[in-house]
Structure formats: C-alpha cells, structure tokens
Structure 1
Amino acid sequence: MTFLNEVTLRYPDAISFAPGRPYDGFFDTEQIFGYLRGYLDHEEAQGSSPERIRTLMYQYGPVAGQIRDIVADWLRVDEDIDVPPESVVVTVGAQEAMLLVLRALVGGPEDAILVASPCFMGITGAARLLDIPVTPVPEGPDGFRREALEAVIEQERARGRRPRAFYVIPDHSNPSGTTMGLRDRTELLELAARHDLLIVEDSPYRLVSPGPPLPTLKSLDRARRVVHIGSFAKTVFPGARLGFVVADQPVVDDAGRRTLLADELAKIKSMVTVNTPSLSQAVVAGALLAARGRLSELNAKAAVHYDDALRHTLQELEARLPADRRAALGVRWNEPSGGFFLGVRVPFRADNAALVRSAEEFGVIWTPMSYFYPGGELGGDLGGRHGDGPEGGSEGGSEGGGVRELRLSISYVTPSEITEGTARLARFIEAASAPS
C-alpha cells in the first residue's frame, strides 16, 4: 500500500483503479449526528440512565464491545446468522479480527493456517506480524476448488503439521472478484467437518453487490465450523474502522472451563486495543437501528452504483480490447457478479516497474496481482522504469503467482474516469505487449 500511495502521489493526474475504498458520495456528514442521536435514544428507551449513557460514551467500554446485541440482531435479520450476542466481538476493523483469530488458533509451529490464493493481503500481513506461516490453496478461474484444498490438507499432514483453519472470502473476493457457488459452499462445510478444520469466512462485499446474495457459510454452518468476520467499512462508515467477528465455537480455557472462542478473542483483544472506540460503535449502531437491521436495503443504492461501475468497466474493456485483439495479445479478464474488483491477465510482467511506466507514460494506475499471492510479492521501487526484467515462466512457475496479472478496482472511479482510464489501460497493454 505504501508503494501504491507513492505512485499515486507522484502521478496525481493518473486515473487510479487501485483503491479498494468505498465511494463516499453516498455518505452525508449530517448522518453521523443522526445515527449518534438514534443510538443514544435507543439506550434511553432501554432504560439506561443519563449517567450510564455518559459512561457508555466517555469511558473505556467492554472489551468485546458494547453493541454486540445490536450486531447480533442485524446478523439475524439481514444475514440469517442466528447466534447469541456473547459470540460476537466488536473489533477495530476487520483487520483486528483477523489478528485476534490467528493468534487464538495457532498454538505452535505444528499448526497450519491455509489461505485461498490469491488472497487479501490483510490476512497474510497479520500472519507475518505474528510470525505465523500461511500455506496457499490455489484458486481456479472460478475461485475455490475443493480438490485443491484437500490436496493441501494432506500435504500439510504429511509434513507433520495440523491444518487449523482455511481463510476465504466467498463473495466477490478481494482481489480476484470470484464468488463461491452454493454447491461449493456446502462441500466446503462438509470437508471442514471431515478434516476437523475451521473456516474463517471474511465477508465485506456482500451488501454492496447487486441482487439476492448467496447464503453465508456461517448461515449454513450447523457444526460451528465457521468463524465469520465482517466489516461496516464498506456499508456504513469507513472512517469508523468498525468490524466484528462471530466465534461461537466452544473451547476449554486454561483453567479447564468451557467457554466460547469469542471469550478467548476478547482476552487477546484486551492486550491489543483494550476496547473498540465507543463513538464508532455508537454511530454504526445508530445506522443499524435506523435501518431496522436491513443494511441490505440501506445499501441498495450503493450496490446499484458499484454494479453499474463494474458493468461499465467490462463494457469499456471489451470495446478497447475486443475478443480477436485479446486473443492475439494473450489478454483476458474475469467478469465478477459484484464487488469492487476484477483481474486482468496480461502477457508481460505486471510488476512495480510496469506500474510506474503505466502511471508515468499512460496516466493509469492499477495494482500488481502478485502482492496478493503468499510469498509472491515482487520487489521494486519508484526508480524502476520499463519492466525490463526477465520474462521467465508462466503463473506458478519461477516468477511466482500473479506476476502476469493486475487487479482493477471500480469502487472509487467515476463513469468518465472509467471511460478514459480503460482507454489508457488498453494503450498501456498494447505497448507493454509489443515485442521489444
């Protein structure tokens, strides 16, 4: 992210398909005060005294969160996830939730964490901070593959390691944009039960995508195999930095007492952030209350906006690089059903040097997909020029995963920027694909 920020600052006139942030045209500053007032009124209606409300807002709050009941009600109404509030931990963004879950699940070097590859760099970054190695499970063109996961599980066990959990974004994943089908979801849950594996489900893009979503893995979970991570950054208030984790798995603590995994996460959180800021919780809770637990309805307009942006991007790419030209160049891309991202396969090294050339000479910024492959990050700095490194092999060869792929984000570009940006991108791809 530091490198991408440097590129963006150096080339301010370039159109950027890099940020995965939500479009802020749907947010109104006055809503903050309305949501806050709504939460305070709710607390008063529930019988809280002025002194208690003051304490709720000004003091350190419960480590696991003070709005767990409101989050649990929303999950029940909007996501068909029926869990007690005690199984919810409200976190400082989904990123903290990942850190807590990894720290709780890994007890020693024999424990293995598996991740869909390519995957969100937040999970690999958290694992790196904790000195936890991750084992990639390669996706296919359509995302999750059961046979790939089973092969990696067997491989890890043959090495004397115990696979503890598999991290995946089932809906419109970051970075690839793929969505796991219903059959694959049920097969994954069956596989998890058979192999005594937990599934860490990350779910940030469901409610900003069009149409009825597929059921979450957690809503299908009957054996408490799924730890569900969510975020309100894409749906309610990015700057509030509010996420949550549902961890209703029974565990036995160090004292031999039966408790929930959520309680163990809260113990770790008490040593990390102590508690999640009360103001952030209050504003998000006010939004959930105002929506009567239907964030899907609150975000309906945003979902249409992002869908329009995605379809517009695909249409413009098709116009600039039609099928016969793509075939001649060796270019292809996927067509996600929602979310913020899509992947583009190119015949050249889409590394940092290529990105600098793209920004400097063609005025368009994207994200190298290699950053999202565990162990596949490519080096380079802003001094790099024209991607003159060795061509090497194909994906999965000596170059590492994703070296000939780039990620486009459609969430923070306007229609006119999409039109001009895809034209610039097509010109860059043509130039970078030409024989040297």
Structure 2
Amino acid sequence: MENASAANRAAFDRAGLKQGGPSHSGPPETAAKILGRNWAAPLAVGPLAGLVRPEALPAVLGAAGRAGLPAVVSALTPVPGPAVPETPLWLRTYAFQDDGTARRTAAGAEDAGYTALVLALGPQDGAAPAPAAGTGLPGLRDRADWADLERLRAASGLPLLVAGVRTAADAVRAVDAGADGLVTDRLEALPVVAAATTGGRPVLLEGGVRRGADVLTALASGADAVLLGRPVLDALLSGGEAGVAAALTGLAGELAAAMAFTGTPTVTEARPSVLRTAPRPVTVTPPPTAAPASPDRPLRRADLHASVSDPVLDTMNFLNEITHRYPDAISFAPGRPYDGFFETERIFTYVRGYLDHLAAQGRTPQDIRTAMYQYGPTAGQIREIVADSLRVDEDIDVPPESIVITVGAQEAMLLVLRALCAGPGDVLLAASPCYVGITGAAKLLDVPVTAVEERADGFHSADLEAAILREHARGRRPRAFYVIPDHSNPSGATLDEATRRELLALAERYGILLIEDSPYRRVSPGTPLPTLKSLDTSRSVVHLGSFAKTVFPGARVGFAVADQRVVDDEGRTGLLAAELVKIKSMVTVNTSSLSQAAVAGALLAADGRISALNADAAAYYGDAMRTTLRALDARIPAGRREALGVRWNEPAGGFFLSVHVPFRADEAALTRSAQDFGVIWTPMRYFYPQGGGQHALRLSTSYLTTAEIEEGTARLARFIEAQSREE
C-alpha cells in the first residue's frame, strides 16, 4: 500500500478546491449512509493490519465507536477480548492458501459481531502479509481470484466489499461476482471505478488521506467514503485513544470546513465541479556537467547576478503560486486597492481634464499632441501639478524642480539608492520588518542593508542611533534610513510625532538622509500626522510617493522629492533630483505620458487634494480594518488568544496588520491554510531582511468586502486553532 498511498498523496497535493457560494442555510451535513447504516462522517478507520498491535486495538475501536464510525479489522490480527459493542466492525479477509479457512472465517464473522466483509484482491505494492502469531491461520496466496469472491459470497450473507479494484473492468467483474461495494487504492482511478459501479454500491478510497480537503476531493472524484490508516496510527502513537478521537473529530471538522468553502451542503452532493487540479509537475533533466558547445547551451545561475537567487524572490514567487493554485480561497495577501472604486470611464475624464488644462495654459494643438505622443521630459511633465498637490495636502513646500516623476515608487527607490550608495562601505539602514521592494532594490544594486528592528511597542529612535554607531565602528558609512512612517507595510505600525522629530534630529546629527515612503497616508481615515518632509528644516528627507493606492495602480506613476543640494568639485550646486534624472534616463527614459495625464487629471479634478479625492476610499479601508479587528476578536476571544499565544496589533488605518501565532508561519503552513481552510495570508518572515518573523503572518484588509472579511477571519481562526494543536 505504501506506493499507492504515496501516489494518492501526490495527487491530493496537485488538487485544489474551488470556492462556492453558500447553497443552503446552516452548516454542511457530513453524515453518510453506507451499506444501509448511518455514519457520522464518510470516514472508516483502518484497515488496521500491520499498523496497530493487537493490544492497542481496543483504544482505536473505542475512539471509532464514540465518533460514530466503523473500523476495518484484519483477519490476520485478532481482536483481544470482546469487541467494543458500539463500534461497527468490518472484517478484512484474504486469499488463504486453504480455501476452507476463508469460508469458515466468513461464515463466523457475523456471529463474531462483524457487520461487513472486505476481501483484498491482492497485497498491493508488496508481498503477501503473514498472519499474526497465535491466530492459527495458514499463509496467504499473493492474490485472490474471482472464485474466492464467489466462495465468500456463498459462505456469508454479510455485505461484501472488494478491495484493490483499480480499473473499470475489475469493477464490473466484482459487481457481477456479487460484491456489495468496492475499495480502490488509487485516487486517480476513482472516477472510472465509480462510473462502472451500479446499483448504488458504495465506492471507498484507501491510502494517502490526511486532511479534510482530501476527503472532499475523494468524494468529488466519485468516492462515497474513505478509509483512514496512517492518520489513525500517528494519532495513536502520539496521544493514545484520546489522540485517535481528536484526529477523527478534527478530520470531520476539516471536511465540514472544506464543504462550506466549496458550497457543498451534504456529502452526497460533492461534485467534480468543486475540484481544481493543478498540472502535473514537469521533471526537468539537468544539463550535463560538461555540456558541449552549442547555440542553446544553458546559462549557469551561478554566473548571473546574485539577486536572481535571492530567497525573497523565491518566496514571493511561491506566494503568487499559492494564490493562483487556490484562486477560490479568500486571500488576505494582496496589498492592493479595492477596485470597486474604479470606474473605467473616469480614466477618459481625467485625461480630457489634463488636456483641457494644457489648452487653458495656452498650449497649441501641436504642443498637446507632442505632450501625449512623445517621450516627454525625463524628469516628468506633471511636476508642477504634483508640487501644488503636496503643498495644499501635505504642507510640503518644494519647487517643482526638486520632484522626479517615476514609474511607481519602486523606480524612485532604485534611483535614490543608486545615487546615494557609491562604494562598498556605504550601507542602507531600514526599519524591520520592511517593505520587500526596498530590500529588493538594494539587492539589485549590491547595497548592503542593516535592519533596525521594531520592538513589540513600535519603533524606537534610540535603536536607529545605536545602529548608526555600530556601522561607524565597523568602518562603514550609513547613507540613509528607509521608513514608512504611516501604517507601514507589513506591520501596519505608525510612528508618533515625537519619534518623527527624533528621527529628523538624528539624521541632521549624523549626516544621513531619511527615505520616507508614504503610500498609505491618504487611504486611511482621519487626519494623518505630519510627514517627515513637512517637518524637515535641514533637507534631511527624501520623500517618496505613489499614486497607485490613491488614484489607480495601473497608471504606475510615483515620484521622489529630492531637494537636497549637491555640490561638485568646482563648487557648483544643483539638486539631488537632477542627479536622479540622469540615472532615470538610463533606466526608463521617461514615465508614460498617458499615465501622467490620467494622474494629473485626477489631481486637477480634486484641486490637488488627494485627501478629498480619496475620502470615500479612506473611509472604506478604515471600516475594513475595523471589521477585521472586530471579527478576529469575535473568532478568537481574549481568553482563547492568551491560551493559544496569539496576538495582533490594531492599526487605525492602512492596509495591513500583523498576527503573532504559536506555530511556524511558513510555506507549509500557508499551503495547508489555502488548501484545507480556504484562506491565504503572507508569512511575515518575507519582510525581515536579516531573519525573523517566523511566528507571524501579515493580513491585508484592503481588497476584501465585509462578507469576505467575516468568512475569511472565520476560516483563519479555524486554521490557527488546528495548526496550534499540532505544534
């Protein structure tokens, strides 16, 4: 069975479940009726031959009986003492070398308390098992034949199931020979075996089942129930009878959760339509060590820049893979705006508004055509409009010449790091956990990053000062400190005003710059604290902004405010922004003129006040955050949180919050969460440039409706409870 079980496990891992809407009121019904008897769930314990020692059988049978489930006991392993009366028992029998033994075993099964017989056609994937010592049973033949089935049918009136059926032909032959039900050990054979089975005869799957989602996958593939061997043994070894009882209860609960996720009201209504099977993995043969010279000779990754092998890139790709593999899971992963506020026609209104603005300024039709169709200035053609917006909305008063319009804030990060970090001794400091975009840009540019960890109660400026002094002691030059002061990604933390002023004093004292990233200020409710840049009197802050969250992400328009003076060897001065423009000319040449027009039109329509433009959106995001926090509190109340060791922060705005959990919030946990519980989140460890965050996860609340948040937090709570029990 081991090979069959492994094949099933691989098939289960490739399969996913599709989310469906609720099809009826109330929780899903997991009860099943098999061979005329009612079971609490479509689960049977066993077969127990070779897994459980005879002296341990009563514990397993007792747990099965109390769970309302049958147990399959091997004729090769006698049950010591009387059978547990409340446990329906099935007897698994074999092709004995002595035909008389098979007939006598079957004939006496009913008197011994068994309610069904299971004939194993053959010892799949291995040699014939040997009867346990003391049973007095003869040896076994390697495989039963149809005559064995017919003899058993004649010897006993108990329901008779045939195990080891893998083809439609075997299914038809078994039914013709008198089988009342079939058992297959191949998940991928279930559809054809079930299709070939007539007369309402049940089909069961054995091997590889570990989780509730596996059970529903089997039911949707044609099974009426599954047999549980390995999960029962594992639970028995770790927790005895109580462990088996907990495992059975947990599997039934996970099945109910999977049914709720797919909108399956009862086990008999599981359909193939709830399945989404991932492609089979492709085996790639590695190239030989000494490959012959040829035009298509592969490149060695070791010869490429180290950034392509950075673990963060692999982990983010893994998150994308999980999201695509389980598209019907409720995802708290994407930190993107809710697109319910986007109206397609408004894009044309914005662009037209900007064109009218150009015309009102006296631009000729030729000028306007050139502005829209040509490359445009590298520094950007809407700098004046952005400068006006910053002045009225953020109290940042800088000349347009100090602004560079970029392809999103990500390009702005790249430009600033490339300009500031000139040699191997230059280092970037970053509040940790931090946005992966800044650490990714640093990796691309070979800029070392030193993390300055947030404490449990937030960021402390004293920790930044200590980090600066350590870098000086190491002979390195800290050039800048990257921070998101408002509702940061990923933790959701916000710096208080006192800390902001302390950071500015540190920057001036030690001659470093503060790189202030500000994407979430104007998508949060209430009046935000002043930006670092608005408090900056010594030109110590490079302010980065993006219109992705406030206007729309598809525009890919960001900006950098870099009004620092730059002096050359001859004493001539300019602005840091001009140096960034030089670098940009070699990277993207310019930012899309059409995108700039759409953003400028939005700003003009709101008289430069992004705060007014986003009033409804900010209220929505604030409500989403409050709803998430309330739902989490309801699903995992304070007392239960304390018992589990679970806690989370409570941001007043932004898109993100962080949840500390007692288990490793890694890729394995995320896969189980998506597959078995239908909820996706982001491991916090992705955001720690020097390690950390192993027991925390990030939730993004921005992209979900209230109903999705309510259901998603319920699923998350079930996952946290289940995962915590296993740690």
> For the superposition of Structure 1 and Structure 2, which TM-score range results when normalised by the shorter chain?
over 0.9
Q: Following the alignment from structure 2 to structure 1, what is the Cα–Cα distance between the partners of residues 457 and 650?
A: 10
Which amino acid in structure 2 is aligned with residue 108 of structure 1?
G
Contact 1:333 1:344 in 2 (8 A): yes
SS at match of 2:503: helix
Q: Please give the secondary structure, in 2, of the residue aligned with 1:245.
A: strand
Contact preservation (8 Å) 2:524, 2:654: yes
Could you tell me which of 300, 322, 327 is aligned with 1:7?
A: 322
Q: Secondary structure at the match of 2:527?
A: coil
Confirm or deny: 8 A CA contact 2:486 2:495 kept in the other structure: yes
Displacement of 1:253: 4.1
| AA of the residue aligned to 2:551 | V
Q: What is the correspondence of 1:187-202 to structure 2 with a 5 Å cutoff?
A: 187-202=502-517
Distance 1:277 1:291 in 2: 22
CA contact (8 A) 2:380 2:405 kept: yes
Deviation of 1:328 after TM superposition, in Å, equals 0.5
Matches within 5 A, 1:250-329: 250-253=565-568, 257-329=572-644
Please tell me the residue identity of whatever aligns with 2:602: A
Structure possessing the higher radius of gyration over alpha carbons: 2
2:459 equivalent to 1:144: yes
Partner of 2:704 in structure 1? Answer: 413
Distance 1:152 1:32 in 2: 46
Residue 143 of structure 1 and its aligned partner are, at CA, apart by 2.7
**Where does residue 393 of structure 2 map in the other structure?**
78
Equivalent residue, structure 1, for 2:723? 432
Q: State the Cα deviation string for residues 158-198 of structure 1 (Å, max 9, x = none).
A: 10001110000000000000000011111110111111110
Aligned to 1:227: 542
Partner Cα distance (2:590, 2:726) in 1: 56
User: Cα distance, 1:30 vs. partner?
Assistant: 0.7
CA RMSD after TM alignment: 0.9
Deviation per residue, 1:10-58 (Å, 9 max, x gap): 1122110000010011111111011000000000111111111111111
TM superposition shift of 1:3: 1.5
For residue 442 of structure 2, what is the amino acid of its counterpart? Answer: A
Tell me the residue number matched to 1:113: 428
Map 1:200-219 → 2, pairs under 5 A: 200-219=515-534
The Cα shift of 1:255 comes to 6.6
In structure 2, the residue matched to 1:386 is none
Superposed displacement of residue 252, structure 1: 2.0
* Alpha-carbon separation, structure 2, partners of 1:95 and 1:411: 20
Q: Which amino acid aligns with 1:215?
A: P
Report deviation, 1:254. Answer: 6.7
**Matches for 1:345-360 after TM superposition, within 5 Å:** 345-360=660-675
Matched, 1:161 2:476: yes
- Does residue 180 in structure 1 map to residue 499 in structure 2? no
1:248 and 2:563 are equivalent in the alignment: yes
- Contact kept, 8 Å, 2:426 with 2:448, in 1: the verdict is no
Uncovered stretches (5+) of structure 1, i.e. residues with no partner: 377-400
Q: Which amino acid aligns with 2:701?
A: I
Partner of 2:332: 17
Q: Which residue of 2 aligns with 1:54?
A: 369
Cα distance in structure 1, aligned partners of 2:384 and 2:448: 35
C-alpha distance in 2, partners of 1:37/1:299?
20
Aligned to 1:335: 650
How far 1:256 sits from its partner (Å)? 5.1
Equivalent residues of 1:342, 1:409 under 8 A apart: yes
Post-superposition CA distance 1:382-429 (Å, at most 9, x none):
xxxxxxxxxxxxxxxxxxx10000000001111111111101101111
Q: Deviations over 1:245-287 (max 9, x none)?
A: 0000000247753110000000000000000010000010000
Contact 1:142 1:179 in 2 (8 A): no
SS of 1:81 mapped into structure 2: coil
Per-residue CA deviation, residues 191-210 of structure 1 (Å, 9 max, x unaligned), is 11111110000000000000
Structure with higher RCO (Cα < 8 A, 6+ apart): 1
SS for the counterpart of 2:529 is coil
Partner SS for 1:343:
strand
1:28-39 equivalences under 5 Å are: 28-39=343-354
Give distance in 2, aligned partners of 1:143 and 1:366.
22
Taking the aligned partners of 2:720 and 2:380, their CA distance within structure 1 comes to 48
Structure 2: 5+ residue runs without aligned partners? 1-315
CA distance, structure 1, for counterparts of residue 477 and residue 604 of structure 2 = 42
Query: Matched residues in 2 for 1:72 and 1:256: separation?
Result: 28
SS in structure 1 at match of 2:430? strand
1:66 corresponds, among 364, 375, 381, to 381
What letter matches 1:12 in structure 2?
P
The TM-score normalised by the length of structure 2 is 0.56
Report SS of the residue matched to 1:434.
Answer: helix
1:321-367 deviation digits (Å, cap 9, x = unpaired): 01110000000000001000000000110011110010011110000
Percentage of matched positions with identical amino acids: 74
Aligned residue for 2:589, secondary structure, equals: coil
- Separation in structure 1 between the aligned mates of residue 515 and residue 457 of structure 2, nearest angstrom: 19
> In structure 2, what is the Cα distance between the partners aligned to 1:372 and 1:291?
35
Distance 2:678 2:704 in 1: 14
8 Å CA contact 2:378, 2:584 repeated in 1: yes
- 1:82-141 deviation per Cα after TM superposition (whole angstroms, max 9, x unaligned): 000000000000000000000000010111110000000000000011111100000122
**Is the 2:485–2:516 Cα contact (8 Å) retained in structure 1?**
yes
- 1: CA distance between counterparts of 2:521 and 2:698? 19
Please give the alpha-carbon distance, in whole angstroms, between the structure 1 residues aligned to 2:452 and 2:639.
33
Q: Match of 1:428, as an amino acid?
A: F
The whole-number CA distance in structure 2 between the counterparts of 1:225 and 1:338 is 27
State the shift of 1:375 in Å. 3.4
Does the 8 A contact of 1:142 with 1:178 survive in 2? Answer: no
Shift of 1:224: 0.2
* CA deviation map 1:285-304 (0-9, x unaligned): 00000000111011000001
* Equivalent position of 1:404 in the other structure: 695
Q: 2:688 aligns with which of 368, 373, 386?
A: 373
C-alpha contact (below 8 Å) 1:349/1:403 kept by paired residues: yes
Equivalent-residue separation in structure 1 for 2:570 and 2:328 (angstroms): 59
Q: Does the residue aligned with 1:239 lie in a helix, a strand or coil?
A: helix
* Other structure's SS at 1:135 match: strand
CA distance in 2 between partners of 1:142 and 1:71 (Å): 35
